[in-house]
Amino acid sequence: MAPPGLIHSSLGHSETGESPQRVGSGDTMSGEETASPSAIQISRIMRPDDANIAGNVHGGTILKMIEEAGAIISTRHCNSQKGETCVAALARVERTDFLSPMCIGEVAHVSAEITYTSKHSVEVQVTVMSENILTGARRVTNKAALWYVPLSLKNVDKVLEVPPLVYTRKEQEEEGRKRYEAQKLERMETKWKNGDIMQPSINPDRQTKEPYTVSYSQSTLIHLVGPSDCTLHGFVHGGVTMKLMDEVAGIVAARHCKTNIVTASVDAINFHDKIRKGCVITISGRMTFTSNKSMEIEVLVDADPVALHSQERYRAASAFVTYVSLSKEGKTLPVPQLLVETEEEKKRFEEGKGRYLQMKAKRQAQIDAVPQK
């Protein structure tokens, strides 16, 4: 049974009373024009089983809700014109920042809007807002951008064309094209690194290992993909994969700090291949970089189609997740510095440092761009 909540479809009015925008129109066989929704909102109350050990809503739960909203709106849009029916599959999640923690008992409002379409992909911008239903106070907790591709239901290996989006301003299309080209380039760079294998720790006894090393906190979760993890078509929901990745990264961060931890941001998650029902997936996480107040964990997802002897194990997804350490009072704590031992670990540390400094400079530029009052 689905959790309690409301899906505000494009056929009615949104929660704010505004009419949804009409986009992506095309000609039907009868010559009439059809339209797909440009925005939807999913809302549900956060329950105790959504909590992490710190008492806030689990970051993986929020990522799963973000993906569900994106999948609904992109699948609707891709089926808005006559042709082969399809399902929109998650290909990539851009960097997602956790701006504010969400509490149990609050209502999560997940708003999704299609902002760009290329020939074979859809960009969906998602904003998550929490509402205190006792006071009515609202605040933005997350923002994310997701990319989907339409897969034919007759042949899931066939990518279909996306109905074009109708833009209100020419600048919207140009800005979207720049984002599309940027993420395409980054995906290609990630694919070159897909041969990287995260070897399991030889000695599982952590008492014999030196704390704060990569091997000390490295963690692995093995999961058999069941029907509840999958869509009606037998493939794993992208949100399920993201939640498992966040769980493993959280274990790595907690082992390193030995404190409460919270997801601060998720760097781009790339989905390289579909995961089928019945696969055994291995989600591996290792520490790559630490600053004074944050730590970066690399997460790799490998799928083993055990029932298909003709197919070998393959890389299904990869990402970098950033965490911060928290005291019992919820205050940020200094992060113990990572002790790198091998040349590969030193290389990954420097690469992580580069990503950290790049994002730090980007945030500062955004602050400087805000006009001073």
SS (H, E, C) 298-337: EEEEEEECCCCCCCCCEEEEEEEEEEEEECCCCCEECCCC
Cα dihedral value 253, 258, 261, 264, nearest 10: -40
Write down the pLDDT at residue 207.
Answer: 58
Is residue 55 left, alpha or beta, with left meaning phi > 0 and alpha meaning psi from -120 to 50? left
Strand-strand pairing, 314-326 and 269-271: antiparallel
The residues spanned by each domain of the chain are 37-163, 205-368
> Would you identify the CATH topology of the domain 205-368?
Thiol Ester Dehydrase; Chain A (3.10.129)
Do the domains at 37-163 and 205-368 have one common CATH topology?
Answer: yes
Write down the pLDDT at residue 362.
Answer: 82
Q: Can you identify the CATH homologous superfamily of domain 37-163?
A: Hotdog Thioesterase (3.10.129.10)
Write down the pLDDT at residue 37.
Answer: 61
Question: Mean pLDDT per segment of 10 residues, for the chain of length 373 residues?
Answer: 37 35 37 57 95 87 95 95 93 90 95 96 97 96 95 92 93 94 82 61 60 95 94 90 95 94 90 93 97 96 84 92 90 95 96 92 77 67
Which residues are tagged catalytic? Answer: 52, 246
Write down the pLDDT at residue 202.
Answer: 46
Write down the pLDDT at residue 66.
Answer: 96
